[in-house]
Amino acid sequence: MADPRFIRVRDVAKTYVAGATEVEAVARVAFDVAEGQFVSILGPSGCGKSTLLMMCAGLEPASDGTIEIAGRPVVGPRREFGLIFQDATLLPWKSSLENVLFPIRMMKRDPAQYRERAEALLGQVGLGDFLHKRPSELSGGMRQRVAICRALIHDPELLMMDEPFSALDAITRDEMNEALARIWETQRKTGLFVTHSIREAVFLADRVLVMSGRPSTIALDFQVRFARPRDPALVETPEFAKICAMLKRTIEAGYARSGRSAA
The pLDDT mean for the chain works out to: 91
Q: How far apart are CA 161 and CA 81, in angstroms?
A: 11
Domain ranges in the chain are: 1-80+159-169+187-263, 87-156
Q: 46: closest CA among 196, 192, 160, 218?
A: 196
Q: 49: closest CA among 201, 204, 180, 162?
A: 162
Q: 56: closest CA among 86, 16, 26, 20?
A: 26
DSSP class per residue in 116-156: HHHHHHHHHTT-TT-TT--GGGS-HHHHHHHHHHHHHTT--
Q: To 10 degrees, the CA torsion angle through 251, 27, 37, 168?
A: 50
Q: 154: closest CA among 205, 117, 122, 193?
A: 117
* pLDDT confidence of residue 3: 81
Domain covering 1-80+159-169+187-263, topology? Rossmann fold (3.40.50)
The residue with greater pLDDT, 23 or 80, is 80
* Backbone torsion region of residue 254, taken as left when φ is above 0, otherwise alpha when ψ lies between -120 and 50, otherwise beta: alpha
* pLDDT confidence of residue 261: 44
pTM: 0.91
- Name the pLDDT band for 262 (thresholds 50, 70, 90): very low
CA 196 distance to own-chain centroid = 11
pLDDT digits (tens, 9 = 90+) for 143-154: 999 999 999 999
The residue with greater pLDDT, 208 or 23, is 208
Residue 53 pLDDT greater than 60, yes or no: yes
The mean pLDDT of 87-99, rounded to a whole number, is 95
pLDDT digits (tens, 9 = 90+) for 169-188: 888 888 889 888 988 888 88
DSSP class per residue in 7-69: EEEEEEEEEEEETTEEEEEEEEEEEEE-TT-EEEEE-STTSSHHHHHHHHTTSS--SEEEEEE
- Name the pLDDT band for 254 (thresholds 50, 70, 90): low
